[in-house]
Structure 1
Amino acid sequence: MGAPAIVVASANHGEVLADTFARYEREYDVRLVRDEASAKQTAKDLVATGHQVALFVIDTDHDEQMLFALLGGTRKAVPTARRLLVSHISRFRADNPTFRHAVAAGKVDALLLMPQGPRDEEFHGAVGELLNEWNATVAAPVVENVRIITPEKDALTRELLDYLSRVGLPAGVHHPDSEVGRAVMADCPDDEGRWPVVSSLAGWCGHCPDVRSLANQLYGRPDEIDVDEVVDLVVVGAGPAGLAASVYASSEGLRTICLEAEAIGGQAGTSSMIRNYLGFPRGISGMRLAQRARGQALRFGTRFFTGWPATGISPCEDGGHHVVHTDGGDVHTRSVLVSTGVDYRRLGVEAIEEMVGRGVFYGAAMAAARELAGDHVVIVGGGNSAGQAAIHAARFASRVTILVRRPGLAETMSSYLIDEIEWNPRIEVRGSACVVDGGPDDVGHLAWLEVEDQLTGERDRVEARGLFLLLGAEPECSWLPEEVLRDARGFVLTGRDVPRELWVHDVPPSDLGTTVPGVFAAGDIRSGSMKRVASATGEGASVVSAVHAWLA
């Protein structure tokens, strides 16, 4: 397989665009074509010869009807490629309102002004973002930071791949008898027969029994790092709220530690593309947003301990501060932020639960979507995470069905996602429907689902190779002491939501304060939160002022 291609289609500005994309020719196969027919034929020829197409760059100088035919044709030919519209300055003002709806509906990924001279880094920054996302979600990694050796891609292997995708580490899976497999096993002779074996460029190699072990190997365990001081703030959970609190607290001089049980970014880190986050007009994946925030927090001095969940909070013996417990050791702190987020609710269908990891996945499982090329995929859920998962899956699957218990998506999903879903010919929405049964093929992989119409009670069986369950919020805070009051659903109560009889001197806790002084809650775990990335980030940032007031 040769270098991935960038196909540039322009009727009148071919030389300008050829010069513009010359800088990419070292690592991409740049092809310049003049019209719709040539663009589609070039794409077909590339695919037929085993090449991948990373990006279509389409000049708006084509006839409008031909232009939309070109957009639709390229999407049909290579659904995984990114699509960029470029407009010459002479028509950019007129093109903006004409094609803005195409960007909003997801027909194209971006509309940019054609460069007017050399070193237009704003333009190339946007192109770089598109290629970056394509490489992260579609292309096989050129350099594998982590290699997984196993004779069978089982449920655990897929969990490891999903985790590595969420933390932004390129990984590959190899059979023990392959050239790579034999080379890795030569360094891990004691682990032969215990699968999977995981090897990292960092130098460690061995059997990996679960995701937590992988996280410990990548980031170190808390009991391997001495915390011999009482810190100012311990953040439990490194989702958007916890990351924002880590950035702002450490940037203001607070000694901050962040504990994360699994992947930095939490549930938001599984989002393939968040398009409505402030400051990212072309969108950003949850993984990249999380890794950037982690890097920012590290720069200001936050220490991250990944791989052990918090198991409890208790007062210190002298009563002067809190102790956050983990299986790997305790951390003493003057204040605590609970930002552990939520898990997806379980479907509760025994036949489906038995196939988790073998075609059935809780969450977006972005890495799994690539394995379902040409198959029918079912997404269960009506929130933004479900919409993002459907759009991502539609780049690979031949057909995607969204099942939602409500009549439609309008009550629970952002308008921009609904617009993208309505336009995408590969995605169908079935309202008032739920999965009630399912079954495997001869090797135990999901083969079919039984779907019930909740209005009529009728059931029908559909073939499906992938089922992604994004069923809504299930709080995980059983580790918190009883003194931290929760609502009837298990979410942490804060501020004026705390019952009045528990206010101190008839004064409620601060807006993000819990019933235990010095313990705060932010993000999805908090009762009444919006369950959006931006709102969780805002809460994580704003809690720092309350922490300052408490410490004072």
Structure 2
Amino acid sequence: MGAPAIIIASANHPTELSEAFARYEREYDVHLVSDEHTAKSSAKDLITQGHPVALLVIDSDHDQEKLYGLISGTRKVVPTARRLIVSHISRFRTDSPAFRHAVAAGKVDALLLMPQGPRDEEFHGAVGELLNEWNATVAAPVVENVRIITPEKDALTRELLDYLGRVGMPAGVHHPDSEVGREVLAQCPEDEGRWPIVSSLAGWCGHCPSVRALANQLYGRPDEIDVDEVVDLVVVGAGPAGLAASVYASSEGLSTVCLEAEAIGGQAGTSSMIRNYLGFPRGISGMRLAQRARGQALRFGTRFFTGWPATGISPCEDGGHHIVHTEGGDVHTRSVLVSSGVNYRRLGVESLEELVGRGVYYGAAMAAARELAGDHVVVVGGGNSAGQAAIHAARFAKEVTIVVRRPDLSATMSSYLIDEIRWNPRITVRGSTRVVDGGPDDVNQLAWLTLEDVGTGDQERIDARGLFLLLGAAPECGWLPDEVLRDKRGFVLTGRDIPRERWLEDVPPEDLATTVPGIFCGGDVRAGSMKRVASATGEGASVVSSVHAFLGR
């Protein structure tokens, strides 16, 4: 595989763009062409020669019809490449409104002002973000922080890869007979034959039976981290709400511990690209957002325990403190934020449950999408997570079908995602439809699905190699004590949603307070929450003032 390529198409400003992209020539194969025909043929030639195309840079000086033809044509040739329109300062004012819709609809990833001289770091910061996301979601890692050795990429191996992708850790899978495989097996011969074997740059090497075991090896178990004092706040769940609370609480001097059962970022961490989050005009992946927030919280002093879920809370009595229990140890705390999030509901089709990890996935499973190049993929779900998963899968799959029970997506998905899906020629939406059956091929991988019209009952069998299930929310709060009141669906009640007979002295609890003093709730697990990243972040930040008030009392 050759170096990834950057193709620049410009008829009138080749000197300016050539000088601007000279800094990338050490690590990228930079090609400057003058017209759309040459750009398309160059992309085809590079792919044939083993050079993946990472970025396509298009000067807005092209005729608009030809420019859109170039965008559409290269998408068919290199669907995984990022696309950037650059506009000279003499045209930028008129180009901005003309191309705004193209950016909003996802036809291109960004519109930038062409650099006017050296060290235009605002421009290069945006280019760096585009290349960073391409490297994280498409490129094979140059340096593998984790190596997985196995004779076949089974369901567990795919779960490990998905987890490593969510925590931003480059990884590779190697056969035991490969050069890398033999090297790793020489380090831990006692585990040979027990697959998969995992080796990390941190020095650990051995058989890995589960995602939790991998998380424990990478981050340590809770009982291996010394928390011998009563802390001010324990945050249960490191999704957007928990991460925001960790940042704000620790920055304001509260001793803060965050427990995460699996991957930092929660479900939001699986989003390939969040385009409507404040402050990121070109979008940001859920993984990047989560890792930045974790680093910010660590800087202020939050301690993270990753790999063991909370198993219960012993509420305080007579003014004492709460005890949050995990299988690996207890944490004593004056207050608790429950932000454990939700899981995707199960489809309930037995034939497909047996294929989970072999073409059937709950969640976006970004790592699995790469393996479905040229195949048909079905995404079930009508929320933003499903839309983002479909757009990401369409970079690899030949065809993506979104299946929803509702007539369309308008009631459940953000408008910007609907527009992007509508424009993408690889994605179709089938409303009033559900998946009722499916089955494997000769090697026990998903091969076909049966779709049913929810109105007429008519059924159709289709070929499909991937099924991604994003079916809505099942709250993760069965571990909570009965004193924490929940609604009939299992979501935690807070504030004025708590029945009046549970109010103290006929005064409603604070907005994010539960029925137990000192235990608060935020994010998707809270009854009535918006199920959006920004709203969860806001709840996590705002709960800190309530924690301060409670501790003050």
Q: Same fold (TM over 0.5)?
A: yes
Amino acid at match of 1:297: A
Give the drift of 1:456: 1.0
Partner Cα separation in structure 1 for residue 337 and residue 194 of structure 2: 39
Find the counterpart in structure 1 of residue 551 from structure 2. 551
Amino acid at match of 2:104: A
Partner Cα separation in structure 1 for residue 476 and residue 56 of structure 2: 44
Amino acid at match of 1:337: L
Find the counterpart in structure 1 of residue 289 from structure 2. 289
Name the SS for the 1:172 alignment partner. strand
Find the counterpart in structure 2 of residue 307 from structure 1. 307
Find the counterpart in structure 2 of residue 360 from structure 1. 360
Find the counterpart in structure 1 of residue 145 from structure 2. 145
Is structure 2 residue 495 aligned with structure 1 residue 478?
A: no
Find the counterpart in structure 1 of residue 248 from structure 2. 248
Is structure 2 residue 484 aligned with structure 1 residue 456?
A: no
Find the counterpart in structure 1 of residue 201 from structure 2. 201
In terms of mean alpha carbon deviation, does 505-514 or 239-248 score higher? Answer: 505-514
Find the counterpart in structure 1 of residue 7 from structure 2. 7
Partner Cα separation in structure 1 for residue 510 and residue 100 of structure 2: 43
Partner Cα separation in structure 1 for residue 330 and residue 68 of structure 2: 60
- What are the equivalent positions in structure 2 for 1:24-423 lying under 5 Å apart? 24-316=24-316, 319-423=319-423
Deviations 1:3-31 (A, max 9, x none): 10000000000011000000000000000
Deviations 1:509-541 (A, max 9, x none): 110000000000000000000000000000000
Give the drift of 1:316: 4.8
Name the SS for the 2:107 alignment partner. coil
Partner Cα separation in structure 1 for residue 452 and residue 291 of structure 2: 40
Partner Cα separation in structure 2 for residue 229 and residue 318 of structure 1: 19
Partner Cα separation in structure 2 for residue 391 and residue 61 of structure 1: 28
Find the counterpart in structure 1 of residue 526 from structure 2. 526
Amino acid at match of 2:83: R
Partner Cα separation in structure 1 for residue 265 and residue 45 of structure 2: 39
Deviations 1:234-276 (A, max 9, x none): 0000000000000000000000000000000000000000000
Find the counterpart in structure 2 of residue 514 from structure 1. 514
Give the drift of 1:76: 1.1
Partner Cα separation in structure 2 for residue 126 and residue 429 of structure 1: 32
Partner Cα separation in structure 2 for residue 140 and residue 520 of structure 1: 42
Give the drift of 1:49: 1.1
Q: 4+ residue stretches of structure 1 with deviation over 4 A? A: 316-319
Amino acid at match of 2:528: G
Amino acid at match of 2:478: S
Amino acid at match of 1:137: T
Name the SS for the 1:27 alignment partner. coil
Partner Cα separation in structure 2 for residue 309 and residue 63 of structure 1: 56
Amino acid at match of 1:133: E
Partner Cα separation in structure 2 for residue 548 and residue 396 of structure 1: 48
Name the SS for the 2:22 alignment partner. helix
Name the SS for the 2:209 alignment partner. coil
Deviations 1:470-505 (A, max 9, x none): 000000211000000000100000000000000011
Give the drift of 1:318: 6.2
Partner Cα separation in structure 2 for residue 381 and residue 341 of structure 1: 18
Partner Cα separation in structure 2 for residue 133 and residue 164 of structure 1: 15
Give the drift of 1:317: 6.6
Amino acid at match of 2:216: N
Amino acid at match of 2:378: V
Name the SS for the 2:524 alignment partner. helix
Partner Cα separation in structure 1 for residue 395 and residue 124 of structure 2: 24
Partner Cα separation in structure 1 for residue 481 and residue 129 of structure 2: 44
Amino acid at match of 2:49: T
Partner Cα separation in structure 1 for residue 308 and residue 69 of structure 2: 52
Amino acid at match of 1:388: Q
User: RMSD across aligned C-alpha pairs, in angstroms?
Assistant: 0.6
Partner Cα separation in structure 2 for residue 372 and residue 378 of structure 1: 11
Amino acid at match of 1:479: W
Give the drift of 1:315: 3.0
Is structure 2 residue 507 aligned with structure 1 residue 504?
A: no
Name the SS for the 1:401 alignment partner. strand
Partner Cα separation in structure 1 for residue 480 and residue 68 of structure 2: 55
Give the drift of 1:232: 0.1
Find the counterpart in structure 2 of residue 442 from structure 1. 442
Gap regions ≥5 residues in structure 1: none
Name the SS for the 1:436 alignment partner. strand
Amino acid at match of 2:161: L
Find the counterpart in structure 1 of residue 493 from structure 2. 493
Partner Cα separation in structure 1 for residue 176 and residue 207 of structure 2: 13
Amino acid at match of 1:49: Q
Name the SS for the 2:508 alignment partner. coil
Give the drift of 1:65: 1.1
Name the SS for the 1:94 alignment partner. helix
Amino acid at match of 2:115: P
Give identity over the alignment, percent: 84
Name the SS for the 2:438 alignment partner. strand
Give the drift of 1:337: 0.2
Partner Cα separation in structure 2 for residue 243 and residue 356 of structure 1: 30
Partner Cα separation in structure 1 for residue 483 and residue 202 of structure 2: 43
Give the drift of 1:508: 1.4
Cα separation, partners in 2 of 1:95 and 1:278, compared to 1, 3 Å: same
Give the drift of 1:150: 0.3
Give the drift of 1:51: 1.1
Give the drift of 1:319: 4.6
Partner Cα separation in structure 2 for residue 255 and residue 469 of structure 1: 38
Name the SS for the 1:523 alignment partner. coil
Name the SS for the 2:247 alignment partner. helix
Name the SS for the 1:524 alignment partner. coil
Partner Cα separation in structure 1 for residue 218 and residue 507 of structure 2: 45
Amino acid at match of 1:482: D
Partner Cα separation in structure 2 for residue 238 and residue 8 of structure 1: 40
Give the drift of 1:382: 0.1
